Amino acid sequence: MSFTEEIKRRRTFGIISHPDAGKTTLTEKLLLFGGAIQEAGAVKNNKIKKGATSDFMEIERQRGISVATSVLAFNYKNKKINILDTPGHKDFAEDTFRTLTAVDSVIVVIDVAKGVEEQTEKLVEVCRMRNIPMIVFINKLDREGKDAFDLMDEVEKKLKLRVTPLSFPIGMGYDFQGIYNLWEKNINLFSGDSRKNIEDTIAFSDINNPELDKIVGEKAAIKLREELELIEEVYPPFSREEYLEGDLQPVFFGSALNNFGVRELLDCFIEIAPSPRPKHSDTRLVEPTEQKMSGFVFKIHANMDPKHRDRLAFIKIVSGTFERNKPYAHVRLNKNLKFSSPNAFFAEKKEIVDISYPGDIVGLHDTGNFKIGDTLTEGEEMNFKGIPSFSPEHFRYINNADPMKAKQLEKGIDQLMDEGVAQLFTLEMNNRKIIGTVGALQYEVIQYRLEHEYGAKCSYENFPAHKACWIKPLDPKSEEFAEFRRIKQKFLAHDKYGQLVFLADSEFTIQMTQSKFPNVKMFFTSEME
């Protein structure tokens, strides 16, 4: 297959939602259709309780939430599909924001009963800002929930999207009978049997055919005809161009747990979703069809396999082909590296790949060379943009709870911070270490992983900070900057990369400091322009 054909057959997308909307279950059912797994992990029989395939960290299995982005790949109808399953919990939003820099499109999962929730709003806003094409999947239709039209209104108002349904439910909750697929013009009947991989589909090009009354009952048939008429009047017809530009979002209905409506979503997705898209670097726009390889690190994960203490950097290939054992330039370090065992993923199962194409996600074994946002090229000096560290909102001193394990603690903190789990600040005054996180749950994850992966124990105590502000003086030698340093010395620290950070205790302090020291610039992400 030619290079351009390989690019065209790739679909790299993320699945985003509020926790518990069914994101991980949907991921799993997509894998089931792709033949990548034989049995869903969510099927909890009495003998064994399997965890979902994409939740491979021990703490995820215990808590039943996803805390790290999983990368999963499979083939379906001659398309190579790369899924990034992201954490829904708001305390892990930073991982999700970074993952959204590596996807070409997104599926937004919404719970039929809860409708649009807060975390979904934040994530969709990021997608809107980046014009990422989105498909909406309204999940859990077999449960009692909101009316389909009300839900679509809510999606339009709260998420500021312009939607058009490509499938529509016949009944809801207890009356749920199936789905009319507007995209394929057929009816899919719901049996409620989650063990069935494929439901019965009946071709139905003419909705006025009296056969419909026999299949779903007269009452349901009349209601469906009325609703489809209303859809035609109210919603815009589907246009792929508008979808790709981020101006129109198709909506599908289904029940991921019951494997229902998932095939319709997947079949339409592989037809309409974009193949790998061009990406802006700090010097130019990079096209996927360029012959020379370029890619960037959007995630680092330590201890994918606890037995081997391995650390993987996840790289999204933007252009050219990534080949095993070929040297590539690490732009930030200005040195050449080559990789003897680049990995492709299927949750925690990895396999070595000889060649990867634009859109693919490759895992590279890392001995500490990479940080999030690093760029690899074939010699060109450029960096891909938009992968910042956000200002944390929670701050705590970290203390060593076992003096015999100081080395293990230091190594553990160092590696977990490289993953972007949290940020480490070292106070200038006394060198005490402070961990800043976006969400409080992160502290639990850090404590758990330090103990179980590195054999180190830590304790925390509160540090009174409201926000981390990265500092960049217009003139580092000015008296104004010297005065700023003298007054704020108690709250000055350095991040992991040596950048100066002011740990402000309130919004008011930030405003006062900005007006008093106008030439000392403050930034709320580490990507200082």
How does pLDDT run across 345-392, given as a tens digit for each residue?
Answer: 654 456 788 898 999 988 888 877 888 888 999 989 998 876 656 677
Quickly state the pLDDT bin for 55 (edges 50, 70, 90): very low
DSSP code for 206: -
CB 359 within 8 A of CB 10: yes
**Phi, psi for 512 (deg, rounded to 5):** -65, -45
Query: Whole-angstrom Cα distance, residue 400 to residue 405?
Result: 8
More confident residue, 184 or 487: 487
For a pLDDT cut of 90, what percent of the chain falls above it? 28
Mean pLDDT of the chain: 80
Q: Flag whether the pTM goes above 0.85.
A: no
Token pair, residue 44, equals 């909890």
Quickly state the pLDDT bin for 52 (edges 50, 70, 90): very low
The fold of 279-377 is Rossmann fold (3.40.50)
pLDDT computed for residue 488 by the predictor = 92
pLDDT computed for residue 250 by the predictor = 94
* Average confidence (pLDDT) over 216-232: 83
Cβ atoms within 10 Å of 280's Cβ, excluding its own: 12
* Average confidence (pLDDT) over 154-161: 90
Residues carrying CATH 3.40.50.300, the chain: 3-174+236-272, 279-377
Q: Is the pLDDT of residue 204 over 80?
A: no
Crossing angle of helices 118-129/148-159, nearest 10°? 60
pLDDT computed for residue 395 by the predictor = 92
Query: Whole-angstrom Cα distance, residue 191 to residue 184?
Result: 20
Give strand pairing partners of 520.
Answer: 473
- Please, how many CA atoms are within 13 Å of residue 375, restricted to the half-sphere of its CB? 24
pLDDT digits (tens, 9 = 90+) for 239-260: 999 999 989 999 999 888 887 8
* Average confidence (pLDDT) over 442-449: 84
Token pair, residue 359, equals 């859109």
Crossing angle of helices 406-418/441-454, nearest 10°? 130
Please tell me whether residue 431 adopts helix, strand or coil conformation.
Answer: coil
The 3-state DSSP composition of the chain as helix, strand, coil percent (nearest 5) reads 30, 30, 40
Query: Whole-angstrom Cα distance, residue 152 to residue 236?
Result: 13
Query: Whole-angstrom Cα distance, residue 136 to residue 116?
Result: 11
The annotated binding site is made up of 17-24, 85-89, 139-142
CB 104 within 8 A of CB 246: no
**Phi, psi for 116 (deg, rounded to 5):** -75, 125
Sheet with 178-181, strands from edge to edge, namely 167-170, 178-181, 186-189, 201-203
Q: Is the pLDDT of residue 206 over 80?
A: no
pLDDT computed for residue 70 by the predictor = 66
Write b or e for each residue in 284-302: b if 16 or more Cβ atoms lie within 10 A of its Cβ, otherwise e: eebebeeeebbbbbbbbbb
pLDDT digits (tens, 9 = 90+) for 416-427: 777 777 889 999
Q: Is the pLDDT of residue 43 over 70?
A: no
pLDDT digits (tens, 9 = 90+) for 396-415: 999 998 888 889 998 888 87
pLDDT digits (tens, 9 = 90+) for 303-315: 555 554 567 788 9
Quickly state the pLDDT bin for 106 (edges 50, 70, 90): very high
Token pair, residue 383, equals 């960096």
The fold of 394-523 is Alpha-Beta Plaits (3.30.70)
Crossing angle of helices 218-234/148-159, nearest 10°? 30
C-alpha pair distances (Å), 148 with each of 115, 159, 169, 245, 254: 10, 16, 8, 25, 11
Q: Which CATH number fits domain 3-174+236-272: 3.40.50.300, 3.30.70.330, 3.40.50.170, 3.40.50.700?
A: 3.40.50.300
208 burial type by CB count under 10 A (0-12 exposed, 13-18 middle, 19+ buried): exposed
The dihedral built from the CA positions of residue 408, 414, 460 and 432, taken in this order, carries a sign that is positive
Token pair, residue 509, equals 């302090």
pLDDT digits (tens, 9 = 90+) for 116-157: 887 788 788 878 877 899 999 998 887 788 888 998 999 999
Residues carrying CATH 3.30.70.3280, the chain: 394-523
Strands 500-504, 492-494: pairing is antiparallel
| Lowest mean per-residue pLDDT among 19-28, 40-49, 190-199, 360-369 | 40-49
The annotated binding site for GTP is made up of 17-24, 85-89, 139-142
* Average confidence (pLDDT) over 486-503: 90
Query: Whole-angstrom Cα distance, residue 520 to residue 93?
Result: 29
* Average confidence (pLDDT) over 164-171: 87
Quickly state the pLDDT bin for 193 (edges 50, 70, 90): low
155 burial type by CB count under 10 A (0-12 exposed, 13-18 middle, 19+ buried): buried
pLDDT computed for residue 291 by the predictor = 93
More confident residue, 176 or 82: 82
Quickly state the pLDDT bin for 39 (edges 50, 70, 90): very low
For residue 410, what are the contacts with CB-CB under 8 A and spacing of at least 6? none
DSSP per-residue string spanning 149-173: HHHHHHHHHHH---EEESEEEES-G
pLDDT computed for residue 40 by the predictor = 39
* Average confidence (pLDDT) over 441-450: 83
